[in-house]
A and B are shown apart, each in its own frame.
Chain A
Amino acid sequence: MHILEGNAVTKHFGGLAAVSHVDFAVDPGQVVGLIGPNGAGKTTLFNLISGALVPESGTIRFQEAAITGLKPHLICRKGLARTFQSVRIFPHLSAHANVQVAALFGRTDRRSVAEANQETVELLEFVGLSGLESLPAKDLKLPSQKRLEVARALATQPQLLLLDELMAGLNPTEVAGAMDLVYRIRDRGVTLFLIEHVMKAIMSVCDRIMVLHHGEKIAEGTPQEIATSRAVVDVYLGE
């Protein structure tokens, strides 16, 4: 059973095909990577999956149920969470409040404020932000803001987490820290679907990788297969 499955998903913007007849499948427990040149449609695909955009044609199924066209908050409550490429935390709310909101609203079962608080504290610790919980999110440095966004997404208790360029702007040491976080999230039982440009990370962390170019899927396979694929090297990796 695939935890996430898409068939011929298509979306146009004006005359341009941002995503064109893309099929994809993610199995539970996996870490799947999504790579491709800038403008290939990766974030658009995530937007279609998370409900931020509605596909023109094609279907998307999450845990065997169709989610195409559902509103984002409903998809979230079904157990699918995401982070954003441009780190969209709630800047004037404290780090704690950022996560707490998600803990209170992101699930189908209603949590008391005390329970949500408890979870918030645990999650902030899990991502390494304890001690910073009362700071307004805008005052955190970029790597911490990214971790906060991850904690916020995890507060909705997802079975599947979409991470959009978690490692952008991080130096190699910070990238190693982020990779460690990815492994720990996977160990919690969350399936991961990642967009990344940091090759080192994607190659070591992913079980499978999908490649988009001009809105179409041009390759799919293990990291090894992708690294040696002629098409991918020409269009994305270079040298």
Chain B
Amino acid sequence: MRTHRTILKSLGGLVLLVLAMALLAGLPLYASAYTVILITSILMYIILAMSWAMFSGPTGYISLAPAAFFGVGIYTAAVLGLELPLPLVILLAGVGSFCLALLVGGLTLRLKGIYFVIFTIGLVELIKNLVLWYEVTFTGTRGRFVVPVDNNTVYHVMLTILVLLLLTAYLIRRSRFGLALQSIGEDEQAAAHVGVNVNPLKMIVFAVSAVFMGAAGAIMATRWSYVDPYIAFNPLFSFMAVLMAIFGGLGKFYGPMLGAVIIAYLEETLITRFPYYYMLIFGLVLVATILFLPGGLVGLAPKLRSWTARRERAHPGG
């Protein structure tokens, strides 16, 4: 039953959201070029973290494949950018990632826990080396140039992808399929026994999450203007997606987004000051989060609440 408070809260949340969207949409109008570029990066990371969390959050299948799908997107832009208009390139990048993810998912989502994780790590390397081999053998180059696109367009495309992702993720989460995904994460066999068609559902959601990673990769490539397999299929992107999602917390819808914003901004500041050590810092953050705050930042509020409640009980009246 919704009380007045909860209705007001959701209305308030909606208003805030619309406001934020309006502000973001108009960013290039009032912000510096540097800010637009920075926010574009942050949006990219939000996309990676949120799409990772869309599948891996409820099911518990820890995928380290985002770099593979992101890279497929990058290469789609590199290969097709000259011949096709930008919207089509982005679309094809998404479709390409979808197909790859379906294939990979079909083969590997039957693997239990740790084997799936390891396979996804290997997948990134596999695709990287396949592309490298192809480029060296048939194209005769190692890297490619990508048709550049102006920063504001890149920004708006990234924002659009994010909005579509948020809509998709939210709808899935609130639908019966979101519940089914959670039940798969809790006990896959029991879920099957209550009628959930486990394998197709896993595969499809996994593939849908890959679409946004690919699309983000395609548009990001236009900003980098030169890519090669090592840049495109960099395992760091997988790691960052996981770090951000877990640090932000998987318990709430906006958790990964929160984590992405903080960590992305941190990266921006740390990379200039500690170019060699900033990854070390992130690694420590991940370890510390898992050890002390496994629910991430969104799990902090309930923890604080119960901690103060316990103190109250031990020393009533302060």
Contacts and interface: CB of A to CB of B under 8 A. Distances in A.
A binds B: yes
Nearest to A100: B179
Interface stretch (A29-37, A61-69, A76-84): A76-84
A221 B188 CA distance: 36
A76 B189 CA distance: 12
Given A97-B179, A105-B180, A88 B195 contact: no
B179 A73 contact: no
B194 A106 contact: yes
A77 B195 contact: yes
Contact of A71 (B179, B182, B192, B194): B192
Given A90-B182, A105-B176, A73 B196 contact: yes
B194 A155 contact: yes
Interface string A26-69: 00000000000000000000000011100000000000000000
Contact of B194 (A51, A91, A92, A152): A152
A72 B194 CA distance: 8
B197 interface: yes
B176 A73 contact: no
B305 interface: no
A127 interface: no
A179 interface: no
A45 to B, nearest CB: 15
A176 interface: no
Contacts of A101: 176, 179-180, 183, 191, 194, 196
Using C-beta atoms within 8 Å of the partner chain, give the interface range for chain A.
20 to 34
Interface in B175-203: 176, 179-180, 182-183, 186-187, 189-198
Residue of B179, B190, B192, B194 contacting most chain A CB atoms (<10 Å): B194
A173 to B, nearest CB: 28
A199 interface: no
A232 interface: no
A106 B198 CA distance: 12
Contacts of A51: 192-193
A97 B176 CA distance: 10
B195 A105 contact: yes
A101 B181 CA distance: 10
A73 B197 contact: yes
Contacts of A84: 190
Contacts of A102: 194-195
Residue of B179, B189, B197 contacting most chain A CB atoms (<10 Å): B179
26 contacts: A51-B192, A52-B189, A52-B193, A71-B192, A73-B196, A81-B193, A81-B194, A88-B187, A88-B189, A89-B187, A90-B182, A90-B183, A90-B186, A90-B190, A91-B186, A93-B179, A97-B179, A101-B191, A102-B194, A102-B195, A104-B180, A105-B194, A105-B197, A106-B194, A107-B195, A116-B176
